[in-house]
């Protein structure tokens, strides 16, 4: 029954996205309707809206442009070339991220009214997360004035200012979460059942991610070590199904593949071939590739069938990662290498990450067949002529290439692969680690959407998808 409630709320959230405020202003009064709510109810809607922003249509666009998937028919065939992207194509992710910010602000206000400082911290966490992701995709965005119903024309903050505000807000969230004042209702927390320690780690994990985006590597390392410290701390988007209705598990990509069959697959994608080319005496990618892809398609299979006598529940059928222990280890690896240039020190974190893969983590129910073939690397593997440096480049650059390749594969189905490309496109220390489609120039940002152009007088004008974000210019 609980899962059906999540589905109903999700539907209501989507229905509200396209509502027109001015059209309904005179029709809002309902003597039988609710005129207020409580923060724990708002929290549920906030969590659901957030996960649909991260795993919805914006994510699929990013996957195509990073050559992790292919647009092969109708609208998606056109959009496979990022130069064809138009403002209308970004209405969905923009609206979703600002729904999160609006829900979060409302939740913070209600939590204050109810003297629940801990719940206020949850609101701040999600507001900061959404704002940071928006700045990482679009650059300058409304944030300080966003989510206020009385302000129809919020100003655009600079990308740098948004990141500074996000870090300060996350600090406030951590203080609120550890204030001891209030609680998180267990039955309303679909992720951690009210566990404040786990939420605090997620706040630090988001800080680490945002510091990586801004190339503040020492801060990124410090925060990553305070983030999720085991797979028990992982935050996954919940798309659970039930025995009566198993198809799709309500995962947006699985639903899209059913409703728009043939539009979007992996027939021309680079990522599946990269899994194959990474094979060496210490790495076997067979199972992880099968978890992400099946034939020429993304793996949206339910697990009710078998492939080569293996369960084949796909990455794009069920729950999907949002903030994880694995990501913290990848951040710590890169940040250590960037700040110390010591390959051995960075390998400590990277081999911990590879040990997770060797034990079958982050592979759905393929994890019953380990160990998988992710043996530890040593520094000499990145020396000239080593197994990870056959082309004889600088050892540090060889290791950075390996890190970015690994992030590219780990973040299939996530915005982080797109953001990684934006932040590394002009970095001479990172040799080419993926192959884009042969279209003009590069996709380096999201485009401001049509809904914003129509609604906000502070709209800054169209900025082409090939223009670097301000902090990466």
Contact yes or no for 139/468 (Cβ under 8 A)? no
Q: What is the pLDDT of residue 263?
A: 80
Kind of pairing between the strands at 297-298 and 293-294:
antiparallel
Q: What is the pLDDT of residue 315?
A: 87
Kind of pairing between the strands at 306-307 and 310-311:
antiparallel
Q: How confident is the model at residue 6 (pLDDT cuts 50, 70, 90)?
A: very low
Neighbouring residues of 340: CB distance < 8 A, sequence distance ≥ 6: 346
Tell me how far apart the alpha carbons of residues 64 and 47 are, in angstroms, rounded to a whole number.
26
pTM over 0.85: yes
Joined tokens for residue 196: 């404040």
Tell me how far apart the alpha carbons of residues 59 and 46 are, in angstroms, rounded to a whole number.
19
The b/e string for 381-418 (b: 16+ C-beta within 10 A; e otherwise) is bbeeebebbeeeeebbbbbbbbbbbbbbbbbbbbbbbb
Q: What is the pLDDT of residue 448?
A: 98
Q: What is the pLDDT of residue 246?
A: 47
C-alpha closest to that of 252 among 87, 415, 53: 53
Q: What is the pLDDT of residue 312?
A: 58
Q: Poorest-confidence range of 134-143, 170-179, 422-431?
A: 422-431
**Where is pLDDT greater, at 4 or 118?**
118
Q: Poorest-confidence range of 175-179, 184-188, 350-354, 386-390?
A: 184-188
pLDDT digits (tens, 9 = 90+) for 47-68: 999 999 999 999 999 999 999 9
For the cut 50, the answer to whether the pLDDT of residue 7 exceeds it is: no
Dihedrals φ, ψ of 439, to 5°? -110, 170
pLDDT digits (tens, 9 = 90+) for 108-150: 999 999 999 999 999 999 999 999 999 999 999 999 999 988 8
Q: How confident is the model at residue 211 (pLDDT cuts 50, 70, 90)?
A: very high
For the cut 80, the answer to whether the pLDDT of residue 266 exceeds it is: yes
Domains of the chain listed by start with CATH number: 2-15+36-472 (1.25.40.390)
pLDDT digits (tens, 9 = 90+) for 370-408: 567 899 999 999 999 999 999 999 999 999 999 999 999
Tell me how far apart the alpha carbons of residues 446 and 290 are, in angstroms, rounded to a whole number.
30
Contact yes or no for 217/339 (Cβ under 8 A)? yes
Contact yes or no for 67/269 (Cβ under 8 A)? yes
Highest-scoring range by mean pLDDT, 133-142, 311-320, 356-365, 424-433:
133-142
Mean pLDDT over 324-341 rounds to 96
C-alpha closest to that of 89 among 449, 415, 418, 419: 449
The b/e string for 451-461 (b: 16+ C-beta within 10 A; e otherwise) is bbeeebeebee
Q: Poorest-confidence range of 29-33, 294-298, 426-430?
A: 29-33
Q: What is the pLDDT of residue 371?
A: 64
pLDDT digits (tens, 9 = 90+) for 72-120: 778 889 999 999 999 999 999 999 999 999 999 999 999 999 999 999 9
Q: What is the pLDDT of residue 13?
A: 45
Contact yes or no for 388/354 (Cβ under 8 A)? no
For the cut 50, the answer to whether the pLDDT of residue 21 exceeds it is: no
CB atoms within 10 A of CB 292: 23
CB atoms within 10 A of CB 348: 14
For the cut 70, the answer to whether the pLDDT of residue 187 exceeds it is: yes
Q: Poorest-confidence range of 250-254, 277-281, 295-299, 376-380?
A: 250-254
Neighbouring residues of 455: CB distance < 8 A, sequence distance ≥ 6: 152
Mean pLDDT over 263-290 rounds to 92
Joined tokens for residue 382: 């990145």
Mean pLDDT over 158-179 rounds to 98
Q: What is the pLDDT of residue 311?
A: 47
For the cut 50, the answer to whether the pLDDT of residue 322 exceeds it is: yes
Alpha carbon separation from 134 to 60, 162, 178, 213, 283 (Å, rounded): 16, 9, 27, 12, 35
Neighbouring residues of 45: CB distance < 8 A, sequence distance ≥ 6: 9, 13, 103
């Amino acid at each position: 029954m609980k899962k059906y409630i999540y589905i109903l709320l999700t539907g209501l959230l989507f229905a509200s996205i396209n509502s027109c405020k001015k059209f309904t202003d005179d029709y809002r009064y309902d003597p039988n309707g609710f005129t207020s709510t409580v923060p724990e109810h708002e929290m549920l809607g906030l969590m659901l809206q957030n996960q649909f922003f991260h795993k919805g249509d914006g994510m699929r666009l990013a996957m195509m442009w990073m050559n992790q998937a292919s647009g092969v028919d109708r609208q998606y065939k056109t959009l496979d070339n990022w130069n064809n992207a138009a403002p209308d194509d970004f209405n969905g992710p923009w609206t979703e991220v600002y729904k999160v910010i609006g829900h979060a602000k409302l939740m913070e206000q209600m939590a204050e009214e109810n003297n629940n400082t801990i719940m206020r911290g949850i609101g701040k966490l999600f507001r900061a997360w959404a704002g940071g992701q928006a700045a990482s995709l679009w650059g300058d965005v409304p944030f300080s004035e966003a989510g206020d119903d009385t302000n129809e024309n919020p100003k655009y903050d600079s990308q740098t200012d948004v990141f500074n505000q996000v870090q300060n807000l996350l600090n406030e969230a951590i203080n609120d979460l550890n204030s001891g004042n209030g609680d998180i209702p267990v039955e309303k927390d679909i992720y951690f059942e009210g566990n404040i320690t786990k939420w605090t780690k997620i706040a630090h994990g988001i800080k680490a991610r945002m510091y990586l985006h801004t190339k503040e590597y020492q801060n990124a390392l410090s925060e990553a070590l305070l983030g999720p410290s085991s797979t028990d701390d992982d935050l996954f988007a919940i798309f659970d199904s039930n025995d009566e209705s198993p198809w799709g598990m309500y995962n947006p990509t699985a639903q899209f593949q059913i409703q728009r069959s043939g539009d979007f697959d992996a027939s021309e994608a680079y990522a599946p071939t990269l899994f194959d080319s990474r094979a060496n005496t210490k790495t076997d990618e067979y199972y992880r590739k099968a978890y992400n892809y099946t034939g020429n398609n993304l793996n949206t299979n339910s697990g009710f069938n078998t492939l080569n006598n293996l369960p084949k529940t796909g990455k794009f059928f069920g729950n999907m990662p949002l903030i994880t222990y694995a990501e913290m280890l990848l951040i710590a690896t890169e940040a250590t290498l960037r700040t110390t240039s010591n390959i051995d020190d960075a390998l400590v974190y990277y081999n911990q990450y590879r040990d997770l893969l060797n034990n079958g983590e982050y592979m759905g129910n393929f994890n019953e067949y380990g160990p998988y073939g992710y043996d530890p690397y040593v520094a000499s593997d990145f020396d000239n002529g080593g197994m990870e440096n056959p082309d004889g480049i600088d050892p540090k650059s060889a290791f950075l290439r390996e890190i970015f390749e690994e992030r590219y594969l780990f973040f299939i189905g996530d915005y982080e692969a797109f953001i990684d490309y934006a932040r590394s496109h002009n970095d001479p220390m990172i040799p080419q680690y993926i192959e884009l489609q042969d279209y003009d120039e590069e996709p380096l940002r999201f485009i401001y959407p049509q809904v914003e152009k129509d609604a906000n007088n502070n709209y800054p004008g169209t900025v082409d998808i090939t223009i670097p974000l301000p902090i990466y210019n």
